[in-house]
Amino acid sequence: MAEYLTQSRPYAEAIFEIAEQDNSVDSWIKDLALISTSFQDNLIQALIDTPDISQREKAEKFVSIFEGEVSAKTINFLKTLGQANRLKILDNIILNFLELVAKKRNQKNVVVSSAFELESDQLEKIKLAMQKRLGADILITSAVDKALIGGMKISYEDQVIDLSLKNKLESLKTQLRN
């Protein structure tokens, strides 16, 4: 996985540079989101992973899926990846690209996990608190994790703020054993 991230970085930097020059970052984000969604399809994965057809043929079939759906530059980029046998790392290229965009725009991705679905006003309060704490624009995503029992866990970059009931119970259990 780390190898794929390393291999994908130059491609991500190249499309980021092109997107910045053309002032088309948002267009690239939209195109790459569509492509990334397609990776969830088993048929797409089978096409990319199959050794039965040539790289050129794979690239043509893969690109044909997105004809008319994405920009011409994105199509050319997909063709280049296919011919270089790099379609396997496309998801990592997209992740690297989005990280570059977030860094340039001073954005941080924050995931809030809770035992129950949070309401929009609760998420907004968390977002405001994280903006104040990190000094950045926050892109917040919520997830339900029943294992937390109660409370929440806030994750960003390589940091985790664990305010869950599960964590508090584990801490109490450790204190009682000592």
Distance CA 151, CA 153 (A): 7
- When mean pLDDT is compared across 16-20, 62-66, 121-125, the lowest value belongs to 62-66
Looking at residue 4, its pLDDT comes to 66
pLDDT at 170 over 70: yes
**Mean predicted confidence (pLDDT) in 142-153:** 88
User: If pLDDT is split at 50, 70 and 90, which confidence band does 41 have?
Assistant: confident
pLDDT at 123 over 80: yes
Structure token pair of residue 133: 């704490």
Of the residues 59, 87, 102, the one at which a domain ends: 102
Percent of the chain exceeding pLDDT 90 equals 40
Domain identity same for 139 and 157: yes
More confident site: 82 or 14? 14
pLDDT at 1 over 60: no
Main-chain phi, psi angles of 155, to 5 degrees = -120, 135
- In tens, the pLDDT along 76-116 reads 999 889 888 888 898 889 888 988 998 999 998 888 999 88
Domain identity same for 123 and 74: no
**Mean predicted confidence (pLDDT) in 107-133:** 91
Domain identity same for 12 and 40: yes
- Strands 107-114, 137-144: pairing kind: parallel
Q: Which own/partner contact pairs does 52-57 have at CB distance under 8 Å and 24+ positions apart?
A: 55/82, 55/83, 55/84, 55/85, 56/82, 56/83
Domain identity same for 26 and 96: yes
- When mean pLDDT is compared across 24-28, 51-55, 151-155, 158-162, the lowest value belongs to 51-55
Domain identity same for 66 and 152: no
Assign residue 96 the CATH number of its domain: 1.10.520.20
Distance CA 103, CA 32 (A): 17
Domain containing residue 113: 106-177
Rg (CA), the chain: 20
Average pLDDT of every residue of the chain: 88
Number of domains composing the chain = 2
Looking at residue 91, its pLDDT comes to 85
Of the residues 54, 69, 102, the one at which a domain ends: 102
**Mean predicted confidence (pLDDT) in 29-41:** 86
Of the residues 102, 137, 159, the one at which a domain ends: 102
